Chains A and B, each alone.
Chain A
Amino acid sequence: MILVSTIRRILTQLRHDPRTIAMIIVVPTLLITLIYFMYEGTPGAFDRIALIMLGVFPFIVMFLITSIAMLRERTNGTLERLFTTPVGKLDLLFGYGVAFGLAAALQAAVAAGFAYGVLGMDTAGSIGLVVLIAVANAVLGVALGLLCSAFARTEFQAVQFMPVVVAPQLLLCGLFVARDQMAGWLQAISNVLPLSYSVEALTEVGAHAEATGTMWRDLIVVVGAIIVALALGAATLRRRTA
């Protein structure tokens, strides 16, 4: 019950901030449109890149939103106060995971719907799988954001974690250089970064009509990474502090 009211509380906070909601929903769609015009003359390029971007945007946006939101809980004293109440750590972690996961589902559905419906994006696999992987990515962003907020004392620091956490994953996920063409050590790094797996899963959806075994395996890896990040995040939440 505490979990449900925590989810509701976080979504209500979001609802009081229409500008943020508008940006969550509109920005990815605008960027996908930009990609559409960038690659207008190159057949197939838009389908390939937009597909990956549909997975990457929710990851970046939710990472940022979550790390700031959690940092606010810490600096405003609400976290300390919650820890004097019956709230459990998992209520908070899953509260953020589910609330922002829902926001991400909406974001992904709008962006994917626009890409497929208006911009004529075409993949062998279904839009449903694309949205599913995008939501998994978003929740991964939430989980990493919760974890990273523990290491930031100010909003300035929290924002700096984005290039640290997001940029290497983006560079090495196979979008810029195919992973099997990278130097061995880069590939090894790429192999331990969760985004590599979600990008591979999306590529599988792009190439195959039905969900493949590789895609499911990749999705399981992403879910595993979410669980690890949440567990580490729980370890950083301390009821008692100095």
Chain B
Amino acid sequence: MSDNAIEVRDLVIKRGKRTVLDGFTCTIPHGSVTGLLGPSGSGKTTLMRAIVGVQLINEGRVTVLGHPAGSAPLRRRIGYVTQAPSVYADLTVRENARYFASLYRLTAKDADDAIEAVGLSSHAGQLVAELSGGQRSRASLVCAIVGRPDVLVLDEPTVGQDPVLRDELWDQFRRLAADGATVLVSSHVMDEANRCDRLLLIREGMLIADDTPAAVKRSAGTDDLDQAFLRLIRDQEVAAK
């Protein structure tokens, strides 16, 4: 098997009349935390949906762990957290976690461990509807990590979290990667990018950079990722003219 957990080749996705991704190609190595960064509307969510296999694609190929994205063997090995928390609001955190655990033939104990891992134990018995926005997205995260996936795809999981918690969540992602999981996290907050092993910078469906945070900053000649992103975009626009 190749070193890459995820391979995207010449991916074309159109939604309505708009071409969201136009010949997009990238690879994501095993056991890493890769940040998918870009402004909203740049195609991050569409790319993530293609990787987890729920997006209709027009052309190209997405391979995850050597299987075509969305194929049956992957469904036990992939975890997906959507941007809006997709858990059952009329169930408690624990009930949500146990339901998702059961889908992977795991036990109630596994569900409780996952709740503990994101620091929601004290709210385990509460209905999701009664939780704050940040707690709700952590509840959603629980249901993705409970199956101990080999590939974890997280669409803006840290939005609305307080800084301390955000820090803990990133530690959690790093631990999962250290245990061998491949983690793909999207964000539009640049300061989070420094915590990734690799960065994919995406804008208007085009890959602008694919490198380590240090290399991205070096190639743009700045220590600030926000600035680096801007320069890379300008360079690309100049090159296009």
Contacts and interface: CB of A to CB of B under 8 A. Distances in A.
Interface in B119-163: 127, 143, 147
B54 A2 contact: no
B75 A2 contact: no
Given A5-B99, A241-B54, A84 B78 contact: yes
> For this complex, into which size category does the number of interface residues on chain B fall?
20 to 34
Contact of B53 (A8, A240, A242): A240
Nearest to B83: A77
A1 B100 CA distance: 12
A81 interface: yes
Interface stretch (A11-19, A27-35, A138-146, A183-191): A11-19
A78 B105 contact: no
A155 B157 CA distance: 28
A239 interface: yes
Given A76-B86, A77-B86, A240 B103 contact: no
Contacts of A77: 82, 84, 86
B54 A240 contact: yes
A122 interface: no
A85 B88 contact: no
Nearest to B52: A84
Interface string B106-128: 00000000000000000000010
A81 B76 contact: no
B127 A241 contact: no
Interface in A1-54: 1-2, 5-6, 8-9, 12-13, 16-17
Contacts of A83: 53-54
A80 B104 CA distance: 16
B61 to A, nearest CB: 14
Given A12-B91, A242-B15, A85 B82 contact: no
Contact of B95 (A12, A85, A87): A12
Interface string A220-242: 00000000000000000001111
A17 B75 CA distance: 31
Given A1-B105, A76-B86, A85-B103, A13 B91 contact: yes
A9 B99 contact: yes
Most buried by B among A8, A82, A86: A86
B151 to A, nearest CB: 10
Contacts of A80: 49, 54, 82, 86
Contacts of B98: 5
Contacts of A78: 86-88
Contacts of B95: 9, 12
Per CB-CB distance, the 4 closest pairs between chain A and chain B, nearest first, are A77-B86, A5-B102, A9-B99, A84-B80
26 contacts: A1-B102, A5-B99, A9-B95, A12-B91, A16-B127, A17-B90, A76-B86, A77-B86, A78-B87, A80-B49, A81-B143, A83-B54, A84-B52, A84-B53, A84-B79, A85-B100, A85-B103, A86-B103, A86-B104, A239-B53, A239-B70, A240-B53, A240-B55, A241-B55, A241-B56, A242-B56
